Amino acid sequence: MSTTEHNTGTARPEETIVYRLASPEDEKAVAAIDGSFTTDTIFEVTLTKDGFTMRPVQLATPIHKVFPDDEPEDETDEEGPDDERTIVAVDRDEVCGFIVTEYSPWNRRLTIADIEVAATHRGRGVGRTLMDHALEHAGECGAGHLWLEVTNVNAPAIRAYQRMGFAFCGLDTSLYEGTESAGETALYMRRSCS
């Protein structure tokens, strides 16, 4: 992948954000991005006899969600899988967003393992441009679709993914059991590459 520059959405005209493959030097900056969010809406999931229903529900009091740090990697596996790829968004030498993808050839799925944009750069097209890079990579891999998991309380991300062409394709009510996110529901979304 070559380095690309994009003027983003509502950014100042002189502002150009560079998108490139992450390097080992970016690791600390990527880890430092605050992926927390505040929302006044959640997607309520109700299990029924025949499956489930889901609907957005406005909260009386907004919630602020802070994601826990990732668990430390096994030291015997210092590098990620061969099919993992990270693209960073850099604004004036500062990493302001990233996307991590993993490709599975057996089902031609490019998984969005993580995507985060610094609060200072949200709403400016950074997330959409990162997702465009993932879509480009999906084409290079021969992926048939993009797939991701998002918690039902992350309504801002769900709405953004829907605007990017993702649709719900499943859920897991037990994925977060035993974690700080217990009680939330994992929602799965997919987008065709064609």
Calpha distance 188→167 (Å, rounded): 8
Question: Whole-model pTM?
Answer: 0.86
> So what's the pLDDT on residue 4?
63
Which whole number is the average pLDDT over 176-189? 96
pLDDT digits (tens, 9 = 90+) for 29-48: 999 999 999 999 999 999 89
Q: Are 186 and 170 in contact (CB under 8 A)?
A: no
pLDDT at 33: 96
pLDDT in the model for residue 194: 78
Half-sphere CA count of 37, side-chain side, radius 13 A: 20
pLDDT digits (tens, 9 = 90+) for 101-154: 999 999 999 999 999 999 999 999 999 999 999 999 999 999 999 999 999 999
